[in-house]
Amino acid sequence: MAQVRTEPAKSSGRKASKEVRRAQLIEATIDSIAKRGYASTTMADVADGAGLSRGIVNFHFESKENLLAETLMYMAAFYRQNWETALAKGGADPAKALWKVVRADFDRKVCNRRIIAAWSGLRAEARSRPAYQRICGEHDDAFRTVLTDLFTSLVKDGKYSANAEKLALVMESLLEGMWLQILMGRENMTRQRAHACAIEFLVTMFPKHFTSDGPIVMGK
């Protein structure tokens, strides 16, 4: 997977690579959507935000539609890279893996108002844009599959009376809902409080596997 960043790329001057220029423009697009919204973001805003000429934007993306679609793909790749890294760190233990995946969802690098505002603005357009639907669908399907697999293992291991697929859907919705709460600033929602709510769900559904402090080592 291509490496992605969530802060403006550094320019190396006139000889900056095509990849660096594109990353600069995409980061500027994220900034603009977060600040102005999807509809009000223009190619000129992006060029000015990146400190580049408007001709450079047209050279790399040709149209606003291409720029926004690639920005969505860029953000989806960044988000996926984040949870895949967390999943790998969890190892073969599904409880540890799930704990790390959920915690990663509230990591500052993915869970901040800039990223959430831009992500929400782009996703809101998916209903009327097939290309966005495909990108968002692939993102959602991959994440839901991982959650379902982890929940399936926990349900089987703990002999819980629960439907893993439904629980995965609830967890996915819970995480997305917490992000929106953070964005809207409702009830003084913070990343820490949102994370605690997600952990409470895990503790309630899988008491043999989790406490509020972390995964329980089975067999002890």
Give the model's pLDDT for residue 163: 97
Domain 68-212 belongs to what architecture? Orthogonal Bundle (1.10)
- Quick: pLDDT tens for 150-159: 999 999 999 9
Give the model's pLDDT for residue 18: 83
Please identify every stretch of the chain with a pLDDT value under 70, giving residue numbers as ranges: 1-16, 218-220
Give the model's pLDDT for residue 19: 84
Q: Which residues pair with 214 in a beta bridge?
A: 211
Give the model's pLDDT for residue 7: 53
Q: Give whole-number Cα distances, 73 to 7, 70, 119, 186, 187, in Å.
A: 16, 5, 10, 28, 31
Q: Give whole-number Cα distances, 116 to 64, 78, 106, 141, 203, in Å.
A: 21, 13, 11, 19, 26
Homologous superfamily (CATH) of 14-62 is Homeodomain-like (1.10.10.60)
Range(s) for CATH 1.10.10.60 in the chain? 14-62
Q: Are the beta carbons of 169 and 175 closer than 8 angstroms?
A: no
Q: Are the beta carbons of 217 and 132 closer than 8 angstroms?
A: no
Give the model's pLDDT for residue 2: 39
Range(s) for CATH 1.10.357.10 in the chain? 68-212
